[in-house]
Structure 1
């Protein structure tokens, strides 16, 4: 009897340990999403779960270990969803199941039944050997996402499946940002309309891919400041908000930190200025496209093609949403609001295209948000794009949403 009681006590102790550890990981995820991994502190995590700092360090000796565990929880969660999706018999059904699992998770979060997991934007800012372990986990997530489309029959199809996997993942990561504008009762409808865009694209039945590459070159009156913005954008895209330190940005330009503060007063101001430059670039592309003759499909595809060219070229890339988690709440809200205004402009173009028949009847607001995720994420695919002619890379990557995730014309 005593032995049985000991086993039961050990089991209860293990259950309590896991429950408290899971609570700490959930709190860490919230802190990472708000402040980035480098901005997270033991004290803040402890406060969120009603513990003292010493109690948190009992479970995780270093802050880096806690952040890594939160990221690994996200990666494991994604792998579980992907494995469940991979059980479906066809590519379309596998993608549908993966989206459904994501939407169900977000619905549970909205109802307070589950906490968000840590966003993965800071993975590259971690240090080895943790970074190597996490990046291996991310590569496995990408590999299984690509497997949703089944085995590729050649290099071109492998490239296309990679583009599709990237766009699908980035859209599910971007989804919580714009989903907050909808009531929980709308989630089923959103899932249906989002899957419609994934499955069938935005293009009308008789249109061709023949975009005009728009000229966005314009001299900057403050060339030194612009150089800082471009260097900062590249580093933040690669390392996240906290990983791209002022010293690192200054070193990239071979100048002193004093020179940095000659152009900008603080790092938050830098990130906001980078976002403004990126949003202005997108707005300029939309304005130039609106001045083009031809259909609204042509205007939409020309805008997307031009912005993908910018991202793949890396000369003056757009700032990724990875920087959002490091910004103060008021600045973050302002950036998301500007992003939503740009998305509504895309939606207007899509709606006009629907009216003239050059775009499919889709939910234009939802379709526009998928395009925001596509153009935002393209920076990460610049090495992929460098393995083929630029025009082909742009057409293939854009096809994922403009013609749908199951249309093979991009490899013909």
Structure 2
């Protein structure tokens, strides 16, 4: 599937330190490339049933920053992202709005592409629709059946039985809780809240996740070697990441609401399929609240990228507002965020245009500070502060420094 147009990224002299990031699984800072010259990134993509909100934007911006930092350190970056273009929330929204689910998905994917281009997010090398990978997912589920990691649950209302993953089946590279570190009670609560079905009868363990949903009347399905149906949520990412990037990848990324069950179960599927860990590090972005509640499609309290742009916001200011917060923190969006970022951007533009006098001697030191902050667990607020300090201290904006701000922070100054 087509991604979106890539922004140009300047080549900047020198090289940054290798980035370290916070690994959710261990709670420690790590170099997820483990010294390799290749960095492989997989970020869980959208379910395309509504507009791109600021929570989405912040997540893709965080991993855009990681990719930029890897490239600035001289690494070869390979990046894959899925689109869950068939899933219950999408089907429910299409039914509510009286629209074909494929038409709804296509329109929202196009909107997502436009938003990512506006924000100058680097596109993935592989932008993969789940509907294009159904055969591969079915092959993987068949393998899990053969090896004892998958089993059938009687499903009277379907054309066949649903297939589930046995979380207690022994695997070489994973056991339940390895990636999330959560206790069982918390897992059960989150599974019920985040797409699981712990109360379903017939499962071996309430936490066992769905691998394959057998065909039901009125639902999309595909013929396969395991019968008609469609993929479960977690297995799609395991298969796409493994096929496109090879395992283990450097970083599995997404919002913190994916820690469990999605990333935990994706790691379990990958281990059962490939006898390898899914990733060297699991990196998660914080949640953004608005009007006191986490921004959520299901709650409807959305601040959308498109809405801000339609109201006249400079996309650079949106990006700068998001970069001013630590990617892993939970925080709340206020209208003043954009006002402050717009004011800051105007100051940066004036500085870059030479409207403010300054001396160039310290520009290299400023560049080093920016690189050091970004490589230290993507400390973009620290990098933004380094630019502010340089302006306040009278350092001139050299072309090389402006290029570095563009290359690492994605802010092209006037």
**Greater fraction strand:** 2
| TM tier, smaller | under 0.3
**TM norm structure 2:** 0.21
**Greater fraction helix:** 1
